[in-house]
Amino acid sequence: MYAFMKDRVSATHPTATPKSVWAALGETDRLLKESSADFDRRLKESSADFDRQLKESRADFDRRMKKFAETIGAWSNNHGSFAEEYFFNSFESGKQNFFGEKFDEMKKNVQGINTKFMDEYDIVLINGKSIAIIEVKFKAHKDQFFKVLRKAETFRENFPYYANHQIYLGLATLVFSPDLEQECIDNGIAVVKQVGQTVVINDAHLKVF
């Protein structure tokens, strides 16, 4: 019985020889190399596909952000134009009596041409002795206060014909922060704002620039 079983085992599992071992090792090495090459190929394809998807996503994100910026820019410009028209029409319907004076002319979006003092003046009121310059914003920020102060200097440089006119400054905005409003008052700049359906001008503190 033992001899019979031994013969069957030998027939099923032949004795390993150096040649067969090397052959088996060679086959194993070949299979490992093929598997490794296949893995590298799949990884490379997956990486390339991931990079492609990442680039496409980035391009789509950049495109959306550009469109968003354009929309916000257009929205901001439209609101700025609306504020300018609103205050200009309000001044016009008020018969141009402001700051205790009667103004003969009213202009908007006046461009200065002096390259050193280039500036733009949203609303300019003119009479024989005075100029009133109104900076208009939909929503004014505190850092714009200094832009208003600069208007008197640049206007005289851009328009020397009015060099001897007294200049008043004003800031008109639909949204006024309390801090900015107080800073204007403290520095003699007229506060022009919307209250309900009315434009209110606070010029009791006004000074000549």
Domains and CATH numbers, the chain: 95-202 (3.40.1350.10)
How many other β-carbons are positioned within 10 Å of the β-carbon of residue 167?
17
- pTM of the model as a whole: 0.60
pLDDT at position 16, please?
Answer: 58
What band does 197 get if pLDDT is binned at 50, 70 and 90?
confident
Query: Which residues are CB-contacts of 169 (< 8 A; sequence separation ≥ 6)?
Result: 132, 133, 134, 135, 148, 149, 151, 152, 188, 189, 190, 209
- Radius of gyration (Cα) for the chain, nearest Å? 41
**73 SS3 class:** helix
* pLDDT tens for each residue of 56-83: 666 665 666 555 445 444 444 455 576 7
Mean pLDDT of the chain: 76
What band does 11 get if pLDDT is binned at 50, 70 and 90?
very low
Q: How far apart are CA 10 and CA 101, in angstroms?
A: 123
Q: How far apart are CA 20 and CA 64, in angstroms?
A: 65
Kindly tell me if the per-residue pLDDT of 19 is higher than 70. Answer: no
pLDDT at position 26, please?
Answer: 64
pLDDT at position 117, please?
Answer: 86
For 140, which DSSP code? -
Range in 43-47, 194-198, 200-204 with the lowest mean pLDDT: 43-47
